[in-house]
Structure 1
Amino acid sequence: MPHLVIEISRQVLDTDSARRLLLALHDTAAGTGIVQGRDLKLRIVPIDIALVGKDDEPFVHLTFALLAGRSPEQKLTLSTLFLGVLCKHFPLIGRCSVEIRDMDSFSYKKRQPDHVPIPDAN
């Protein structure tokens, strides 16, 4: 259920490094015990046009949204570890940031995999 979304300047992204980055973030999150690895949904959103102030400066921003209920200490652990992974993968990018968001369990809805109808083969 947790959603990890990375917004990144397209000019610093390539397919191989993107996959390695997602796998490293998956392993980092799962390794904390705060979330289950099998539940993580990770994706990268390349950004073509963005400014930092008035400058065309590359950036990486990670948003981690999960159901409310984790302690401030758990959220700090996640954000600190995620920032470390970003800095390791992008040592030349000065603009790396992480945000942990609580999702409202009352309004968050999803289809359960075991409730997906199986199409008729005929």
Structure 2
Amino acid sequence: MPHLTLEYSKNLDTFSAGAALLDINRALLASGQFEEADIKSRAIALDCCQIGVQDLPRAFIHAKLAILSGRSPEEKQRLSELSLQALADSAALPPGVEVQLCVEIQEIDRASYGKRFIAR
């Protein structure tokens, strides 16, 4: 834990998903909530998406951060803020495009989450 998924509109030509993932991972580690090797992240470029109804240059990056249940609302808010700031700081965005950055915290039931380490 945690699992971070970035979904972003593919029209962000200058966005480096790998750099954003690394920056958010660093922010999550600095929060003191997670062990380094437990932070898992991935990015998905969306070929087909629509923002609003007007034909304007728009884009988005949506971060979903799934964490185990049991954290306070304040801790979740802090993780959201840290993730959003890291995303904003790392995102090289194209000029002339309105970009929405979002972070969503999702809770995974601690009692039902399973994890196993396999080292060969």
Q: Distance in 2 between matches of 1:108 and 1:13?
A: 36
Match of residue 109 from structure 1: 114
Question: Relative to 1, partners in 2 of residues 1:6 and 1:106: Cα closer, same or farther, differing over 3 Å?
Answer: same
1:69 equivalent in alignment to 2:70: yes
> Residue 88 in 1 paired to residue 93 in 2?
no
* Seq. identity, %: 35
Letter paired with 1:113: F
Q: How far does residue 90 in structure 1 lie from its aligned partner after superposition?
A: 3.1
Q: Which has the higher helix share?
A: 1
Aligned positions of 1:18-57 closer than 5 A: 18-55=17-54, 57=58
Match of 1:2 in 2: 2
The letter for the 2-side match of 1:73 is: E
Matched residue SS, 1:94: strand
Partners of 2:20 and 2:91 within 8 A in 1: no
The letter of the residue matching 2:88 is C
Counterpart of 2:5, as a letter, is V
The residue type equivalent to 2:26 in the other structure is D
Structure 1 portions without partners, runs of 5+: none
Between the aligned partners of 2:6 and 2:22, the Cα distance in structure 1 is: 13
Give unmatched runs, 5+ long, in structure 2. Answer: none
Secondary structure at the counterpart of residue 12 of structure 1: coil
Which range moves more in the overlay, 35-44 or 101-110?
A: 101-110
Q: What is the Cα-based RMSD across aligned positions, in Å?
A: 2.1
Shift of 1:55: 4.2
Task: Give how far 1:89 is off.
Answer: 2.6
**TM-score scaled by length of structure 2:** 0.82
More relative contact order, 1 or 2 (CA 8 Å, 6+ apart): 2
Q: How many residues align?
A: 114
Distance 1:36 1:55 in 2: 43
Are the counterparts in 1 of residues 14 and 92 from structure 2 also a CA contact under 8 Å? no
